[in-house]
Chain A
Amino acid sequence: MNRLLALLKREWKTGQKDYSTYGLVIVLLLFAFETMQSLVARYAGSSFPMEVYSEMFPGFLLLGGFITTSLLFSEDMFSKDAQHTWLMLPATNLEKFVSKALISTLVYPIAVTLLFFLASVITEPIQLLIFGSPIGLFNPFKDNELGSLLAQYWVWNSVFLLGATFFRKAHFVKTVLAVGVVFLGLGALALLFTRIVFAIKFGSSLQMFDSFMYFDSRYLQDSLTALKVFSGITKVFYYAVLPVFCLVTAYFRVEEVQATDAV
Protein backbone atom coordinates (compact mmCIF):
# COMPACT_ATOMS: atom_id res chain seq x y z
CA MET A 1 0.00 0.00 0.00
CA ASN A 2 2.82 2.37 0.91
CA ARG A 3 4.54 1.58 -2.34
CA LEU A 4 1.34 2.21 -4.30
CA LEU A 5 0.94 5.59 -2.60
CA ALA A 6 4.58 6.36 -3.33
CA LEU A 7 4.00 5.42 -6.97
CA LEU A 8 0.91 7.63 -7.17
CA LYS A 9 2.94 10.46 -5.68
CA ARG A 10 5.66 9.83 -8.23
CA GLU A 11 3.11 9.91 -11.06
CA TRP A 12 1.81 13.25 -9.85
CA LYS A 13 5.23 14.77 -9.23
CA THR A 14 6.70 13.76 -12.58
CA GLY A 15 3.67 15.03 -14.49
CA GLN A 16 2.87 17.96 -12.21
CA LYS A 17 4.06 20.65 -14.61
CA ASP A 18 2.23 19.16 -17.60
CA TYR A 19 -0.97 18.62 -15.62
CA SER A 20 -0.83 22.18 -14.27
CA THR A 21 -0.30 23.61 -17.76
CA TYR A 22 -3.18 21.53 -19.09
CA GLY A 23 -5.43 22.70 -16.26
CA LEU A 24 -4.51 26.33 -16.88
CA VAL A 25 -5.25 25.93 -20.60
CA ILE A 26 -8.72 24.58 -19.74
CA VAL A 27 -9.46 27.50 -17.41
CA LEU A 28 -8.22 30.08 -19.92
CA LEU A 29 -10.14 28.50 -22.79
CA LEU A 30 -13.32 28.42 -20.76
CA PHE A 31 -12.83 32.03 -19.76
CA ALA A 32 -12.12 33.09 -23.35
CA PHE A 33 -15.16 31.29 -24.78
CA GLU A 34 -17.44 32.59 -22.05
CA THR A 35 -16.14 36.13 -22.58
CA MET A 36 -16.55 35.99 -26.35
CA GLN A 37 -20.09 34.73 -26.08
CA SER A 38 -20.95 37.30 -23.41
CA LEU A 39 -19.51 40.04 -25.64
CA VAL A 40 -21.66 38.96 -28.55
CA ALA A 41 -24.68 38.64 -26.28
CA ARG A 42 -24.09 42.06 -24.72
CA TYR A 43 -23.59 43.98 -27.95
CA ALA A 44 -25.58 41.95 -30.48
CA GLY A 45 -28.51 41.47 -28.20
CA SER A 46 -28.55 37.67 -28.27
CA SER A 47 -29.07 35.58 -25.16
CA PHE A 48 -26.25 35.15 -22.67
CA PRO A 49 -24.29 31.88 -22.77
CA MET A 50 -25.44 29.28 -20.29
CA GLU A 51 -24.10 26.08 -21.80
CA VAL A 52 -20.40 26.82 -22.41
CA TYR A 53 -19.18 24.53 -19.65
CA SER A 54 -21.46 21.60 -20.41
CA GLU A 55 -20.70 21.96 -24.13
CA MET A 56 -16.94 21.86 -23.59
CA PHE A 57 -16.87 19.35 -20.76
CA PRO A 58 -17.26 16.16 -22.86
CA GLY A 59 -14.44 17.24 -25.18
CA PHE A 60 -11.97 17.80 -22.38
CA LEU A 61 -13.11 14.77 -20.42
CA LEU A 62 -13.04 12.34 -23.33
CA LEU A 63 -10.58 13.63 -25.91
CA GLY A 64 -8.26 15.24 -23.36
CA GLY A 65 -8.46 12.19 -21.16
CA PHE A 66 -7.70 9.76 -23.96
CA ILE A 67 -4.69 11.78 -25.10
CA THR A 68 -3.42 12.01 -21.52
CA THR A 69 -3.93 8.28 -21.03
CA SER A 70 -2.16 7.49 -24.30
CA LEU A 71 0.95 9.28 -23.07
CA LEU A 72 1.05 7.63 -19.63
CA PHE A 73 3.54 4.87 -20.45
CA SER A 74 5.52 6.52 -23.24
CA GLU A 75 8.39 7.79 -21.08
CA ASP A 76 8.62 5.14 -18.40
CA MET A 77 8.16 2.08 -20.53
CA PHE A 78 9.32 3.03 -24.01
CA SER A 79 11.94 5.78 -23.67
CA LYS A 80 15.40 4.26 -23.72
CA ASP A 81 16.79 7.12 -21.66
CA ALA A 82 14.17 7.03 -18.93
CA GLN A 83 13.11 3.39 -18.70
CA HIS A 84 16.04 2.49 -16.45
CA THR A 85 14.38 4.40 -13.57
CA TRP A 86 11.07 2.61 -14.15
CA LEU A 87 12.71 -0.81 -14.42
CA MET A 88 14.78 -0.35 -11.28
CA LEU A 89 11.98 1.16 -9.20
CA PRO A 90 11.37 -1.18 -6.25
CA ALA A 91 7.70 -1.99 -6.88
CA THR A 92 5.76 -4.86 -8.43
CA ASN A 93 4.52 -4.68 -12.01
CA LEU A 94 0.96 -4.68 -10.72
CA GLU A 95 1.65 -1.71 -8.46
CA LYS A 96 3.30 0.16 -11.31
CA PHE A 97 0.35 -0.53 -13.60
CA VAL A 98 -2.35 0.18 -11.02
CA SER A 99 -0.81 3.54 -10.13
CA LYS A 100 -1.03 4.70 -13.75
CA ALA A 101 -4.44 3.13 -14.30
CA LEU A 102 -5.81 4.89 -11.20
CA ILE A 103 -4.49 8.23 -12.41
CA SER A 104 -6.19 7.88 -15.78
CA THR A 105 -9.38 6.09 -14.74
CA LEU A 106 -10.22 7.76 -11.46
CA VAL A 107 -8.13 10.83 -10.76
CA TYR A 108 -8.38 12.45 -14.20
CA PRO A 109 -12.22 12.54 -14.51
CA ILE A 110 -12.61 13.78 -10.93
CA ALA A 111 -9.95 16.45 -11.47
CA VAL A 112 -11.48 17.67 -14.76
CA THR A 113 -14.97 17.83 -13.24
CA LEU A 114 -13.69 19.81 -10.26
CA LEU A 115 -11.63 22.05 -12.52
CA PHE A 116 -14.66 22.89 -14.66
CA PHE A 117 -16.66 23.73 -11.56
CA LEU A 118 -13.86 25.89 -10.15
CA ALA A 119 -13.39 27.60 -13.54
CA SER A 120 -17.08 28.46 -13.57
CA VAL A 121 -16.89 29.77 -9.99
CA ILE A 122 -14.04 32.09 -11.04
CA THR A 123 -15.40 33.06 -14.46
CA GLU A 124 -19.06 33.67 -13.74
CA PRO A 125 -18.76 36.50 -11.18
CA ILE A 126 -16.32 38.27 -13.53
CA GLN A 127 -18.78 37.95 -16.42
CA LEU A 128 -21.53 39.25 -14.18
CA LEU A 129 -19.48 42.28 -13.18
CA ILE A 130 -18.32 43.14 -16.70
CA PHE A 131 -21.22 42.13 -18.94
CA GLY A 132 -24.04 41.64 -16.50
CA SER A 133 -24.42 38.05 -17.67
CA PRO A 134 -26.39 35.84 -15.27
CA ILE A 135 -24.48 33.37 -13.10
CA GLY A 136 -24.50 29.92 -14.65
CA LEU A 137 -22.21 27.64 -12.72
CA PHE A 138 -21.11 24.32 -14.16
CA ASN A 139 -23.39 21.63 -12.86
CA PRO A 140 -22.13 18.17 -13.82
CA PHE A 141 -25.27 16.52 -12.46
CA LYS A 142 -27.60 18.49 -14.71
CA ASP A 143 -29.68 16.24 -17.00
CA ASN A 144 -27.84 13.19 -15.60
CA GLU A 145 -25.24 13.56 -18.32
CA LEU A 146 -22.24 13.06 -16.05
CA GLY A 147 -23.02 9.41 -15.34
CA SER A 148 -23.38 8.62 -19.02
CA LEU A 149 -20.19 10.51 -19.88
CA LEU A 150 -18.23 8.81 -17.13
CA ALA A 151 -19.48 5.42 -18.29
CA GLN A 152 -18.27 6.18 -21.82
CA TYR A 153 -15.00 7.47 -20.40
CA TRP A 154 -14.52 4.26 -18.37
CA VAL A 155 -14.99 2.10 -21.46
CA TRP A 156 -12.92 4.06 -23.95
CA ASN A 157 -10.23 5.05 -21.49
CA SER A 158 -9.48 1.36 -20.96
CA VAL A 159 -9.08 0.98 -24.73
CA PHE A 160 -6.64 3.90 -24.86
CA LEU A 161 -4.81 2.55 -21.82
CA LEU A 162 -4.30 -0.69 -23.72
CA GLY A 163 -3.08 1.33 -26.70
CA ALA A 164 -0.68 3.22 -24.43
CA THR A 165 0.93 -0.02 -23.29
CA PHE A 166 0.77 -1.75 -26.66
CA PHE A 167 2.27 0.84 -29.02
CA ARG A 168 5.78 2.13 -28.55
CA LYS A 169 5.23 5.47 -30.35
CA ALA A 170 2.31 7.66 -31.49
CA HIS A 171 0.08 5.84 -29.01
CA PHE A 172 -3.05 7.96 -29.49
CA VAL A 173 -3.08 8.00 -33.29
CA LYS A 174 -2.27 4.31 -33.51
CA THR A 175 -5.02 3.44 -31.01
CA VAL A 176 -7.56 5.48 -32.99
CA LEU A 177 -6.46 3.75 -36.20
CA ALA A 178 -6.55 0.33 -34.55
CA VAL A 179 -10.07 0.98 -33.20
CA GLY A 180 -11.09 2.06 -36.71
CA VAL A 181 -9.72 -1.14 -38.20
CA VAL A 182 -11.48 -3.25 -35.53
CA PHE A 183 -14.78 -1.48 -36.26
CA LEU A 184 -14.37 -2.03 -39.99
CA GLY A 185 -13.70 -5.70 -39.35
CA LEU A 186 -16.67 -6.04 -37.01
CA GLY A 187 -18.88 -4.19 -39.51
CA ALA A 188 -17.83 -6.54 -42.28
CA LEU A 189 -18.51 -9.55 -40.04
CA ALA A 190 -21.95 -8.18 -39.14
CA LEU A 191 -22.75 -7.69 -42.80
CA LEU A 192 -21.68 -11.22 -43.58
CA PHE A 193 -23.65 -12.59 -40.66
CA THR A 194 -26.78 -10.72 -41.75
CA ARG A 195 -26.36 -11.84 -45.32
CA ILE A 196 -26.03 -15.50 -44.29
CA VAL A 197 -28.78 -15.57 -41.64
CA PHE A 198 -31.28 -13.66 -43.74
CA ALA A 199 -30.22 -15.23 -47.00
CA ILE A 200 -33.79 -16.33 -47.80
CA LYS A 201 -35.14 -12.88 -47.10
CA PHE A 202 -32.54 -11.28 -49.36
CA GLY A 203 -33.36 -13.66 -52.11
CA SER A 204 -37.10 -13.39 -51.71
CA SER A 205 -39.22 -11.19 -53.88
CA LEU A 206 -41.58 -10.82 -50.94
CA GLN A 207 -39.11 -8.90 -48.69
CA MET A 208 -41.48 -6.02 -48.19
CA PHE A 209 -44.25 -8.31 -47.08
CA ASP A 210 -41.85 -10.14 -44.76
CA SER A 211 -40.90 -6.91 -43.06
CA PHE A 212 -44.56 -5.99 -42.62
CA MET A 213 -44.96 -9.26 -40.80
CA TYR A 214 -42.75 -8.01 -37.93
CA PHE A 215 -45.08 -5.10 -37.32
CA ASP A 216 -47.83 -7.50 -36.58
CA SER A 217 -48.58 -7.22 -32.86
CA ARG A 218 -48.30 -11.00 -32.48
CA TYR A 219 -44.62 -10.97 -33.57
CA LEU A 220 -43.67 -7.50 -32.36
CA GLN A 221 -43.73 -8.47 -28.67
CA ASP A 222 -41.47 -11.47 -29.30
CA SER A 223 -39.05 -9.35 -31.32
CA LEU A 224 -38.91 -6.65 -28.65
CA THR A 225 -38.19 -9.21 -25.92
CA ALA A 226 -35.41 -10.69 -27.97
CA LEU A 227 -34.07 -7.20 -28.63
CA LYS A 228 -34.10 -6.36 -24.91
CA VAL A 229 -32.12 -9.50 -24.11
CA PHE A 230 -29.70 -8.72 -26.91
CA SER A 231 -29.41 -5.12 -25.69
CA GLY A 232 -28.74 -6.30 -22.12
CA ILE A 233 -26.01 -8.66 -23.24
CA THR A 234 -24.47 -5.94 -25.38
CA LYS A 235 -24.46 -3.49 -22.47
CA VAL A 236 -22.77 -5.97 -20.18
CA PHE A 237 -20.20 -6.67 -22.85
CA TYR A 238 -19.68 -2.96 -23.62
CA TYR A 239 -19.55 -1.56 -20.07
CA ALA A 240 -17.99 -4.48 -18.18
CA VAL A 241 -16.36 -7.16 -20.34
CA LEU A 242 -14.64 -4.86 -22.85
CA PRO A 243 -13.03 -2.45 -20.30
CA VAL A 244 -12.01 -5.25 -17.94
CA PHE A 245 -10.55 -7.17 -20.87
CA CYS A 246 -8.61 -4.08 -21.98
CA LEU A 247 -7.32 -3.36 -18.46
CA VAL A 248 -6.23 -6.95 -17.87
CA THR A 249 -4.58 -7.12 -21.29
CA ALA A 250 -2.84 -3.79 -20.64
CA TYR A 251 -1.51 -5.17 -17.35
CA PHE A 252 -0.20 -8.29 -19.09
CA ARG A 253 1.42 -6.06 -21.67
CA VAL A 254 3.23 -4.20 -18.85
CA GLU A 255 4.26 -7.60 -17.46
CA GLU A 256 5.50 -8.62 -20.89
CA VAL A 257 7.58 -5.48 -21.35
CA GLN A 258 8.96 -5.85 -17.83
CA ALA A 259 9.66 -9.51 -18.39
CA THR A 260 11.76 -8.89 -21.47
CA ASP A 261 14.89 -6.88 -21.52
CA ALA A 262 14.54 -3.23 -22.23
CA VAL A 263 16.65 -3.08 -25.37
Chain B
Amino acid sequence: MASQEVSVSSEYGIEGDVVVRMTDISFAYQSKKLFSNLDLEIRRGNIYGLLGKNGAGKTTLLKLLSGQLFVQGGSVEVFAQNPQKRTPSLLQEIFYLPEEFPLPKMKATEYLAMLSPFYPRFDHTMFGVYCKDFDVDLNQRLDQMSLGQKKKVLLSFGLASNTALLILDEPTNGLDIPSKRQFRQTVASAMTENRTFIISTHQVRDMENLIDPIIILHDGSVIFNDTVASVSDKYVLNLTTSEPSKEHALYTEKVLGGWMVLSERGEGSEGQPLDLETLFNVVIQTSKGTMGGVR
Protein backbone atom coordinates (compact mmCIF):
# COMPACT_ATOMS: atom_id res chain seq x y z
CA MET B 1 0.00 0.00 0.00
CA ALA B 2 0.98 3.63 -0.32
CA SER B 3 4.15 4.79 1.26
CA GLN B 4 3.90 8.31 2.70
CA GLU B 5 2.22 8.43 6.07
CA VAL B 6 0.69 11.78 6.97
CA SER B 7 -0.29 11.49 10.58
CA VAL B 8 -1.67 15.01 11.05
CA SER B 9 -5.43 15.26 11.31
CA SER B 10 -6.82 16.43 8.00
CA GLU B 11 -8.32 19.86 7.47
CA TYR B 12 -10.94 18.16 5.32
CA GLY B 13 -12.52 16.31 8.18
CA ILE B 14 -11.10 12.85 7.70
CA GLU B 15 -9.39 10.68 10.21
CA GLY B 16 -5.97 9.48 9.19
CA ASP B 17 -4.83 9.71 5.61
CA VAL B 18 -7.38 7.67 3.69
CA VAL B 19 -8.88 9.81 0.94
CA VAL B 20 -10.90 7.22 -0.93
CA ARG B 21 -12.23 3.95 0.43
CA MET B 22 -14.16 1.64 -1.88
CA THR B 23 -15.44 -1.49 -0.21
CA ASP B 24 -16.85 -4.51 -1.99
CA ILE B 25 -18.25 -2.44 -4.82
CA SER B 26 -20.05 -3.83 -7.82
CA PHE B 27 -21.10 -2.02 -10.96
CA ALA B 28 -22.52 -3.01 -14.34
CA TYR B 29 -23.60 -1.21 -17.48
CA GLN B 30 -26.97 -2.85 -18.10
CA SER B 31 -26.01 -6.46 -18.74
CA LYS B 32 -22.24 -5.92 -18.90
CA LYS B 33 -20.74 -6.55 -15.49
CA LEU B 34 -17.71 -4.37 -14.91
CA PHE B 35 -16.78 -4.58 -11.23
CA SER B 36 -17.62 -7.11 -8.58
CA ASN B 37 -16.30 -7.12 -5.00
CA LEU B 38 -13.79 -4.40 -5.84
CA ASP B 39 -11.88 -2.94 -2.91
CA LEU B 40 -9.66 0.10 -3.15
CA GLU B 41 -8.00 2.44 -0.70
CA ILE B 42 -6.29 5.66 -1.74
CA ARG B 43 -4.13 7.59 0.68
CA ARG B 44 -3.36 11.24 0.90
CA GLY B 45 -0.18 12.83 -0.38
CA ASN B 46 0.38 10.54 -3.37
CA ILE B 47 0.15 10.70 -7.14
CA TYR B 48 -1.62 7.47 -8.01
CA GLY B 49 -1.42 6.04 -11.49
CA LEU B 50 -4.48 4.11 -12.59
CA LEU B 51 -3.59 1.60 -15.28
CA GLY B 52 -5.61 -0.98 -17.11
CA LYS B 53 -6.37 -2.36 -20.54
CA ASN B 54 -8.92 -0.71 -22.83
CA GLY B 55 -12.38 -1.29 -21.37
CA ALA B 56 -11.01 -2.34 -17.97
CA GLY B 57 -13.16 0.36 -16.37
CA LYS B 58 -10.66 3.09 -15.49
CA THR B 59 -12.95 5.99 -16.40
CA THR B 60 -15.90 4.25 -14.77
CA LEU B 61 -13.92 3.82 -11.56
CA LEU B 62 -12.99 7.51 -11.60
CA LYS B 63 -16.63 8.45 -12.15
CA LEU B 64 -17.72 6.19 -9.32
CA LEU B 65 -15.34 7.72 -6.86
CA SER B 66 -16.21 11.26 -7.96
CA GLY B 67 -19.94 10.55 -7.57
CA GLN B 68 -20.84 10.86 -11.24
CA LEU B 69 -21.85 7.21 -11.35
CA PHE B 70 -23.45 5.25 -8.55
CA VAL B 71 -22.26 1.88 -7.32
CA GLN B 72 -24.79 -0.94 -7.41
CA GLY B 73 -23.33 -2.70 -4.41
CA GLY B 74 -20.82 -1.93 -1.69
CA SER B 75 -19.81 1.52 -0.50
CA VAL B 76 -17.66 4.43 -1.58
CA GLU B 77 -16.27 7.04 0.76
CA VAL B 78 -14.32 10.08 -0.31
CA PHE B 79 -13.03 12.22 2.56
CA ALA B 80 -15.38 10.15 4.75
CA GLN B 81 -18.38 11.32 2.72
CA ASN B 82 -20.58 9.56 0.23
CA PRO B 83 -19.72 11.09 -3.17
CA GLN B 84 -23.14 10.13 -4.51
CA LYS B 85 -24.68 12.88 -2.39
CA ARG B 86 -22.57 15.45 -4.26
CA THR B 87 -22.53 17.89 -1.39
CA PRO B 88 -20.91 21.24 -2.20
CA SER B 89 -18.42 20.78 0.65
CA LEU B 90 -17.16 17.58 -0.99
CA LEU B 91 -17.37 18.80 -4.58
CA GLN B 92 -15.23 21.82 -3.82
CA GLU B 93 -12.50 19.39 -2.73
CA ILE B 94 -12.60 17.38 -5.97
CA PHE B 95 -11.46 18.48 -9.39
CA TYR B 96 -12.18 16.06 -12.23
CA LEU B 97 -10.53 16.46 -15.61
CA PRO B 98 -12.32 14.20 -18.10
CA GLU B 99 -10.64 12.74 -21.16
CA GLU B 100 -12.95 14.63 -23.51
CA PHE B 101 -15.03 17.64 -22.66
CA PRO B 102 -16.75 20.60 -24.27
CA LEU B 103 -15.91 24.09 -23.08
CA PRO B 104 -18.19 27.11 -23.40
CA LYS B 105 -17.75 29.75 -26.08
CA MET B 106 -15.75 32.25 -24.09
CA LYS B 107 -12.22 33.36 -23.28
CA ALA B 108 -10.18 31.55 -20.63
CA THR B 109 -10.28 34.68 -18.45
CA GLU B 110 -14.09 34.68 -18.58
CA TYR B 111 -14.16 30.97 -17.78
CA LEU B 112 -11.94 31.65 -14.80
CA ALA B 113 -14.17 34.47 -13.53
CA MET B 114 -17.24 32.26 -14.00
CA LEU B 115 -16.09 29.12 -12.17
CA SER B 116 -13.38 30.13 -9.72
CA PRO B 117 -15.90 31.45 -7.11
CA PHE B 118 -17.04 27.86 -6.59
CA TYR B 119 -13.63 26.89 -5.21
CA PRO B 120 -12.88 28.72 -1.94
CA ARG B 121 -9.11 28.23 -2.08
CA PHE B 122 -8.72 29.14 -5.74
CA ASP B 123 -5.37 30.83 -6.38
CA HIS B 124 -5.61 33.31 -9.26
CA THR B 125 -1.88 34.04 -9.20
CA MET B 126 -1.00 30.36 -9.56
CA PHE B 127 -3.52 29.99 -12.38
CA GLY B 128 -1.63 32.67 -14.28
CA VAL B 129 1.68 30.94 -13.51
CA TYR B 130 0.44 27.52 -14.66
CA CYS B 131 -1.03 28.98 -17.86
CA LYS B 132 2.25 30.76 -18.54
CA ASP B 133 4.17 27.53 -17.95
CA PHE B 134 1.87 25.73 -20.37
CA ASP B 135 2.13 28.59 -22.86
CA VAL B 136 -1.63 29.18 -22.95
CA ASP B 137 -3.05 32.42 -24.32
CA LEU B 138 -5.74 33.43 -21.84
CA ASN B 139 -7.34 35.82 -24.31
CA GLN B 140 -8.02 33.11 -26.88
CA ARG B 141 -11.53 31.72 -27.04
CA LEU B 142 -11.83 28.26 -25.50
CA ASP B 143 -13.94 26.86 -28.34
CA GLN B 144 -11.22 27.84 -30.81
CA MET B 145 -8.49 25.99 -28.90
CA SER B 146 -7.16 22.54 -29.75
CA LEU B 147 -7.87 19.64 -27.39
CA GLY B 148 -4.35 19.94 -25.96
CA GLN B 149 -4.72 23.66 -25.25
CA LYS B 150 -8.12 23.12 -23.65
CA LYS B 151 -6.60 20.44 -21.43
CA LYS B 152 -3.84 22.82 -20.39
CA VAL B 153 -6.42 25.46 -19.42
CA LEU B 154 -8.50 22.98 -17.43
CA LEU B 155 -5.42 21.46 -15.86
CA SER B 156 -4.18 24.92 -14.81
CA PHE B 157 -7.64 25.61 -13.42
CA GLY B 158 -7.69 22.32 -11.50
CA LEU B 159 -4.24 22.85 -10.01
CA ALA B 160 -5.03 26.45 -9.06
CA SER B 161 -8.33 25.41 -7.47
CA ASN B 162 -6.31 23.82 -4.66
CA THR B 163 -8.73 20.96 -4.27
CA ALA B 164 -7.54 18.11 -2.08
CA LEU B 165 -8.28 15.48 -4.74
CA LEU B 166 -7.48 15.84 -8.43
CA ILE B 167 -8.76 13.18 -10.79
CA LEU B 168 -7.17 13.32 -14.21
CA ASP B 169 -8.43 11.01 -16.92
CA GLU B 170 -5.83 10.58 -19.67
CA PRO B 171 -4.38 14.06 -19.07
CA THR B 172 -1.55 13.75 -21.58
CA ASN B 173 -3.76 12.74 -24.51
CA GLY B 174 -3.60 15.57 -26.99
CA LEU B 175 -0.57 17.22 -25.40
CA ASP B 176 2.49 17.83 -27.56
CA ILE B 177 5.91 16.50 -26.49
CA PRO B 178 7.15 19.65 -24.67
CA SER B 179 3.78 19.95 -22.94
CA LYS B 180 4.00 16.39 -21.63
CA ARG B 181 7.27 17.28 -19.97
CA GLN B 182 5.77 20.49 -18.68
CA PHE B 183 2.81 18.51 -17.37
CA ARG B 184 5.07 16.27 -15.28
CA GLN B 185 6.97 19.25 -13.91
CA THR B 186 3.82 21.23 -13.11
CA VAL B 187 2.04 18.36 -11.39
CA ALA B 188 5.15 17.54 -9.37
CA SER B 189 5.52 21.19 -8.30
CA ALA B 190 1.82 21.45 -7.37
CA MET B 191 2.00 18.36 -5.19
CA THR B 192 1.70 18.88 -1.45
CA GLU B 193 1.24 16.44 1.42
CA ASN B 194 -2.46 17.34 1.62
CA ARG B 195 -3.19 16.74 -2.05
CA THR B 196 -3.86 13.51 -3.86
CA PHE B 197 -3.76 12.93 -7.58
CA ILE B 198 -5.33 10.01 -9.37
CA ILE B 199 -4.14 9.87 -12.94
CA SER B 200 -5.62 7.37 -15.33
CA THR B 201 -3.43 6.76 -18.35
CA HIS B 202 -2.36 4.48 -21.15
CA GLN B 203 0.70 6.61 -21.80
CA VAL B 204 2.84 5.06 -19.07
CA ARG B 205 6.03 6.46 -20.53
CA ASP B 206 4.62 9.99 -20.17
CA MET B 207 4.05 9.31 -16.50
CA GLU B 208 7.28 7.54 -15.67
CA ASN B 209 8.83 8.99 -12.51
CA LEU B 210 5.62 10.86 -11.72
CA ILE B 211 3.01 8.30 -10.74
CA ASP B 212 3.62 6.10 -7.76
CA PRO B 213 1.83 4.10 -6.28
CA ILE B 214 0.27 2.25 -9.17
CA ILE B 215 -3.24 0.82 -9.30
CA ILE B 216 -3.89 -1.80 -11.93
CA LEU B 217 -7.43 -2.71 -12.87
CA HIS B 218 -8.05 -6.03 -14.52
CA ASP B 219 -11.06 -8.30 -14.95
CA GLY B 220 -13.28 -6.18 -12.74
CA SER B 221 -11.02 -5.84 -9.75
CA VAL B 222 -7.91 -4.10 -8.50
CA ILE B 223 -5.11 -6.60 -8.96
CA PHE B 224 -2.29 -4.30 -7.91
CA ASN B 225 -2.14 -1.30 -5.60
CA ASP B 226 1.41 -0.70 -4.51
CA THR B 227 4.57 1.26 -5.16
CA VAL B 228 7.05 0.40 -7.89
CA ALA B 229 9.73 0.32 -5.18
CA SER B 230 7.98 -2.49 -3.35
CA VAL B 231 8.13 -4.62 -6.50
CA SER B 232 11.75 -3.65 -7.12
CA ASP B 233 12.59 -4.79 -3.58
CA LYS B 234 11.32 -8.29 -4.33
CA TYR B 235 12.15 -8.69 -8.00
CA VAL B 236 15.00 -7.80 -10.29
CA LEU B 237 14.94 -6.96 -13.99
CA ASN B 238 17.85 -8.06 -16.15
CA LEU B 239 18.75 -8.06 -19.81
CA THR B 240 20.20 -11.35 -21.06
CA THR B 241 21.42 -12.39 -24.46
CA SER B 242 20.55 -16.05 -23.98
CA GLU B 243 17.00 -17.33 -23.66
CA PRO B 244 16.16 -17.64 -19.96
CA SER B 245 14.80 -20.80 -18.42
CA LYS B 246 11.11 -20.79 -17.51
CA GLU B 247 11.79 -22.01 -13.97
CA HIS B 248 13.66 -18.92 -12.78
CA ALA B 249 11.94 -16.20 -14.76
CA LEU B 250 8.76 -14.62 -13.47
CA TYR B 251 8.35 -12.71 -16.71
CA THR B 252 10.26 -12.60 -19.95
CA GLU B 253 10.01 -10.39 -22.97
CA LYS B 254 11.92 -10.57 -26.21
CA VAL B 255 13.59 -7.23 -26.82
CA LEU B 256 16.18 -5.94 -29.27
CA GLY B 257 19.42 -7.77 -28.57
CA GLY B 258 18.13 -10.36 -26.12
CA TRP B 259 15.55 -11.00 -23.44
CA MET B 260 14.31 -8.87 -20.60
CA VAL B 261 13.87 -11.10 -17.58
CA LEU B 262 12.14 -10.43 -14.28
CA SER B 263 13.12 -12.80 -11.54
CA GLU B 264 13.05 -12.92 -7.76
CA ARG B 265 15.74 -10.78 -6.18
CA GLY B 266 18.52 -12.73 -4.54
CA GLU B 267 21.28 -11.67 -2.18
CA GLY B 268 23.20 -8.75 -3.71
CA SER B 269 21.56 -9.14 -7.13
CA GLU B 270 21.48 -6.00 -9.21
CA GLY B 271 19.48 -5.19 -12.27
CA GLN B 272 17.82 -2.48 -14.28
CA PRO B 273 15.14 -0.21 -12.84
CA LEU B 274 11.64 -1.58 -13.31
CA ASP B 275 9.69 0.52 -15.78
CA LEU B 276 5.90 0.90 -15.61
CA GLU B 277 5.24 -0.87 -18.87
CA THR B 278 7.06 -3.98 -17.68
CA LEU B 279 5.40 -3.77 -14.30
CA PHE B 280 1.99 -3.59 -15.96
CA ASN B 281 2.72 -6.56 -18.21
CA VAL B 282 4.08 -8.58 -15.30
CA VAL B 283 1.05 -7.92 -13.14
CA ILE B 284 -1.40 -8.70 -15.93
CA GLN B 285 0.42 -11.89 -16.91
CA THR B 286 0.79 -12.99 -13.31
CA SER B 287 -2.88 -12.48 -12.68
CA LYS B 288 -3.62 -14.87 -15.53
CA GLY B 289 -1.41 -17.49 -13.90
CA THR B 290 0.95 -17.67 -16.85
CA MET B 291 4.31 -17.16 -15.22
CA GLY B 292 6.92 -16.75 -17.85
CA GLY B 293 4.77 -14.39 -19.83
CA VAL B 294 5.14 -12.87 -23.22
CA ARG B 295 7.72 -14.38 -25.49
Chain A residues close to B by CB (< 8 Å): 2-3, 5-6, 9-10, 13-14, 16-17, 81-82, 84-85, 87-93, 258-263
Contacts and interface: CB of A to CB of B under 8 A. Distances in A.
Contacts of A82: 102
Contacts of A84: 68, 96, 98, 101
A162 B255 CA distance: 63
A116 B84 CA distance: 45
Given A84-B96, A90-B88, A13 B114 contact: yes
Interface residues of B, number: 30
Interface string B75-94: 00000000010111101101
Contacts of B105: 17
B175 to A, nearest CB: 20
Given A91-B118, A263-B69, A81 B91 contact: no
B66 interface: yes
B88 A3 contact: yes
A82 B18 CA distance: 30
B115 interface: yes
B110 interface: yes
Contacts of A9: 114, 117
Closest 5 CB pairs of A and B: A90-B91, A90-B92, A6-B117, A261-B69, A261-B70
A91 B104 contact: no
A209 B107 CA distance: 76
A interface majority secondary structure: helix
A90 B114 contact: no
Given A2-B117, A13-B114, A81-B100, 19 more contacts: A3-B88, A6-B114, A6-B118, A9-B114, A9-B117, A10-B114, A13-B113, A14-B106, A14-B114, A84-B98, A87-B68, A88-B94, A89-B118, A90-B92, A90-B118, A92-B87, A258-B86, A261-B69, A261-B70
Interface string B45-85: 00000000000000000010011111000000000000010
Nearest to A14: B104
Given A13-B106, A17-B105, A91 B88 contact: yes
Interface in B127-163: none
Contact of B102 (A13, A81, A88): A81
A260 B70 contact: yes
B100 A89 contact: no
Contacts of B101: 81, 84-85
Contact of B68 (A2, A17, A88): A88
A89 B91 contact: yes
A91 B118 CA distance: 8
Contact of B66 (A6, A88, A259, A260): A88
A128 B172 CA distance: 62
